[in-house]
């Protein structure tokens, strides 16, 4: 029985909070399971380093992702190389799994426009900071692929707050009507900045919203990487199948939690309690998977230590590469939005240029 047949009100789980099997595991080799574990550990370490860089003034505002590694890594592993991934602004782990180097993500948050250019060999759309705008983009790209006769899946990530936007309705409604090969993946991390999930919708689940659009919705434990992989893999396979008996889009609601702030400009202690955070930390996806892999003989102390050492080396190299790039000039913020600058922006650009002329490059960039 497909997990997609279980309905949108039953949460799918393979590993419980203690790392014990409570459901049917997906078909993954030992190497693939360890690779998922390594990517999750890598994401957690990268996240800590990125927050540290921001606090030291070496990077701009950054959106932490700790706690959400299982949802990102498990779902991205379910894609084939030719499938497309449409991120929001927090999918650092998912984009890395699908071919985006860590240094490219760092450059983006350091203000380099080059960080917004995805590698040619990676089927990853550009980062979307505006809420939900990537949903119509993913639906449109999927529809274009259908018209061309391509058989690729399009995985689109967004948060629970995005489900309150018009773009969510428009994208999913179009996908249902035109049967596009799209997997809509909601990272329900309980908080849209300071707005709790219960203020987003009166629906029992977000997954059940798919019923209104005429396709499957499924809720999964988003802190269980094996359950996320299994659900997403089945949704992706259905999306690619033009002869599917049922509508090909799927809405996946991955229930999870962000341990840290919404961004480094946010103070989550204002709107949520430490007791709530600690309760969710008991569901931490990394020790959960590590316990399972140790108990099944796939991991031991020596291998865990080797993985950690290689992760630290990889992240350090990415930081060195990103910081070795020339710092972007402030004027560059005007160069990538309009072909012809509006008057108000042209005036601001001219003000910057006068300041540069007055103080010189070194003092201007420093201050």
- CATH code for the domain in which residue 124 is found: 3.40.50.970
Query: What is the bridge-based pairing of β-strands 216-221 and 250-255?
Result: parallel
123 and 81 Cβ atoms separated by less than 8 Å: yes
Q: Which residue has the tokens 């990272």?
A: 187
Q: Which residues, listed in sequence order, are joined to residue 218 by a DSSP beta bridge?
A: 252
Clarify whether residues 189 and 51 are in a common domain. Answer: yes
Lookup: tokens for 258: 């962000």
- Centre a 10 Å sphere on the Cβ of residue 328 and count the other Cβ atoms it contains: 17
Of 105, 24, 38, 115, which is closest to residue 73 (Cα–Cα)? 38
Lookup: tokens for 269: 């202690």
Q: Whole-angstrom Cα distance, residue 36 to residue 69?
A: 10
Clarify whether residues 345 and 208 are in a common domain. Answer: no
Clarify whether residues 313 and 343 are in a common domain. Answer: no
pTM of the model: 0.94
Q: Which residues, listed in sequence order, are joined to residue 124 by a DSSP beta bridge?
A: 85
Q: Which residue has the tokens 């983009």?
A: 137
Helix (H, G, I), strand (E, B) or coil at 318: helix
Clarify whether residues 214 and 339 are in a common domain. Answer: no
Clarify whether residues 43 and 78 are in a common domain. Answer: yes
Clarify whether residues 359 and 254 are in a common domain. Answer: no
Tens digits of pLDDT across the chain (367 residues): 688 888 788 999 999 999 999 999 999 999 999 999 999 999 999 999 999 999 999 999 999 999 999 999 999 999 999 999 999 999 999 999 999 999 999 999 999 988 989 999 999 999 999 999 999 999 999 999 999 999 999 999 999 999 999 999 999 999 999 999 999 999 999 999 999 999 999 999 999 999 999 999 999 999 999 999 999 999 999 999 877 766 799 999 999 999 999 999 999 999 999 999 999 999 999 999 999 999 999 999 999 999 999 999 999 999 999 999 988 888 888 888 898 999 999 999 999 888 888 877 666 655 5
Contacts of 221 (CB under 8 A, 6+ apart): 11, 12, 13, 227, 228, 254, 255
Q: Determine phi and psi for 64, rounding to 5 degrees.
A: -65, 155
Clarify whether residues 318 and 342 are in a common domain. Answer: no
Q: Which residue has the tokens 């690729």?
A: 152
Clarify whether residues 178 and 228 are in a common domain. Answer: yes
pLDDT of 3? 83
Q: How far is CA 236 from the centre of its chain?
A: 16
pLDDT of 365? 59
Q: Whole-angstrom Cα distance, residue 49 to residue 66?
A: 12
Q: Whole-angstrom Cα distance, residue 201 to residue 198?
A: 6
Of 47, 6, 66, 39, which is closest to residue 223 (Cα–Cα)? 66
Q: Whole-angstrom Cα distance, residue 98 to residue 92?
A: 10
pLDDT of 367? 54
Clarify whether residues 307 and 239 are in a common domain. Answer: yes
Clarify whether residues 149 and 230 are in a common domain. Answer: yes
Clarify whether residues 231 and 346 are in a common domain. Answer: no
If you count them, how many residues does the chain have? Answer: 367
DSSP annotation of 217 reads E
Q: Whole-angstrom Cα distance, residue 180 to residue 39?
A: 30
Clarify whether residues 66 and 87 are in a common domain. Answer: yes
Helix (H, G, I), strand (E, B) or coil at 189: coil
Lookup: tokens for 24: 């049917």
- Centre a 10 Å sphere on the Cβ of residue 144 and count the other Cβ atoms it contains: 12
Q: Is the dihedral of CA 171, 174, 337, 46 positive or negative?
A: positive
* Number of domains the chain contains: 2
Q: Is the dihedral of CA 221, 226, 228, 234 positive or negative?
A: negative
Looking at the annotation, which residues are catalytic? 258, 262, 271
Q: Which residue has the tokens 């103070």?
A: 267
- Which structural domain, as residue segments, surrounds residue 358? 330-366
60 and 110 Cβ atoms separated by less than 8 Å: yes
């Amino acid at each position: 029985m497909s997990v997609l047949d279980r309905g949108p009100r039953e949460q799918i789980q393979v590993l419980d909070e203690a790392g014990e099997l409570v459901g049917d595991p997906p078909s993954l080799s030992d190497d693939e399971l360890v690779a998922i574990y390594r990517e999750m550990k890598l994401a957690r370490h990268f996240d800590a380093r990125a927050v540290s860089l921001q606090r030291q003034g070496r990077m701009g505002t950054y959106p932490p992702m700790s706690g959400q590694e299982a949802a990102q890594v498990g779902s991205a592993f379910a894609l084939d190389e030719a499938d497309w991934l449409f991120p929001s602004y927090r999918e650092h782990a998912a984009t890395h799994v699908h071919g985006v180097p860590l240094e490219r993500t760092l450059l983006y948050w350091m203000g380099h426009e080059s960080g917004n250019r995805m590698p040619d060999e990676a089927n990853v759309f550009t980062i979307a900071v505006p809420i939900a705008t990537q949903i119509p983009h993913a639906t449109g790209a999927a529809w274009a692929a259908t018209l061309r006769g391509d058989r690729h899946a399009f995985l689109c990530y967004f948060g629970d707050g995005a489900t309150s936007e018009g773009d969510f309705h428009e994208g999913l409604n179009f996908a249902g009507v035109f049967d596009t090969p799209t997997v809509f993946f909601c990272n329900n991390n309980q908080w849209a900045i300071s707005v709790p999930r219960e203020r987003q919708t009166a629906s029992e689940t977000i997954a059940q919203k798919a019923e209104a659009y005429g396709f499957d919705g499924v809720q999964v434990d988003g802190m269980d990487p094996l359950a996320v992989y299994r659900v997403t893999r089945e949704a992706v396979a259905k999306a690619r199948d033009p002869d599917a008996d049922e509508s090909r889009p799927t809405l996946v609601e991955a229930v999870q939690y962000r341990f840290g702030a919404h961004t480094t400009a946010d103070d989550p202690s204002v709107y949520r309690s430490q007791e709530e955070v600690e309760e969710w930390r008991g569901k931490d996806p990394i020790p959960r998977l590590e316990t399972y892999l140790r108990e099944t003989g796939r991991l031991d102390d020596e291998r865990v230590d080797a993985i950690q050492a290689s992760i630290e080396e990889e992240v350090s190299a990415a930081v060195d590469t990103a910081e070795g790039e020339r710092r972007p000039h402030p004027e560059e913020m005007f160069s990538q939005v309009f072909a012809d600058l509006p008057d108000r922006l042209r005036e601001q650009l001219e003000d910057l240029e006068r300041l540069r002329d007055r103080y010189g490059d070194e003092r201007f960039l420093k201050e």
